[in-house]
Amino acid sequence: MKKGYFKIFAASILVPLSMLLSGFQEKSVIFTCKTGQAGFLSDAPLEMIKASSKNLTGALNLKDRSFSFLLPTKTFEGFNSSLQRTHFNEDYMETDLYPNSSFRGKIIEEVDLSIPGTYKIRAKGRMSIHGVENDRIVRCDLVVGENRIDVIASFTVFLADHSISIPSILNQKIAEEIKVDIIFTLTPLSD
């Protein structure tokens, strides 16, 4: 009879203890970014416009490879003049109506991002700029290290794809294709 009690006692202590310890060993599957960088370049015949933001935020779920990123559009800085920034926010991006740009979707490749290394992946999802969503595939370089994932991506945004109109008088100063560069670091979500 004592052997039966010992087995029950041992099971009641060891099973929860092993579950607790395995929880400490399991790595986070959610990685987040709070201060990612996004920059753009409009290289038109008569003018080059550059601006950047350090307010890119988002998350990546390593388990199902889903992601979601958000950038407050009004946070771009570095224009050639304050008037240029005002025109960007009020006339073209209409940031009072469309305050955020976003990209959400899933990594196409079946990669295990818990294993350190360098990966070339494609992120497929819905990109929203100026209130207009489009399906996009963005190629990214990922460097997975200890408790971090560094991400670098470059892609082009066509203004017409997002209903951003440029007056014909300015078409020599604002490019129809905007080059976008993204760089950020994801770290495990802390509980």
Whether 29 shows a pLDDT value over 70: the answer reads yes
Closest CA to 190 of 36, 20, 22, 59: 59
If you average pLDDT over residues 99-110, what whole number do you get?
A: 98
Q: 35 lies in which domain range?
A: 28-188
Distances (CA, A) of 127 to 25, 46, 70, 157: 36, 29, 10, 10
Between 11-20, 72-81, 120-129, 163-172, the lowest mean confidence (pLDDT) is in: 11-20
- Specify the CATH number for the domain of residue 163: 2.40.128.110
* 175 is a domain residue: yes
Q: E strands, 15-80, where? A: 30-43, 48-61, 66-72
* 16 is a domain residue: no
pLDDT of residue 82: 94
Highest-confidence segment of 132-141, 157-166, 170-179 = 132-141
* 44 is a domain residue: yes
Encoding tokens for residue 178?
Answer: 């905007």
* 14 is a domain residue: no
* 156 is a domain residue: yes
* 84 is a domain residue: yes
pLDDT of residue 5: 46
* 152 is a domain residue: yes
Write down the pTM of the prediction. Answer: 0.81
Domain count within the chain = 1
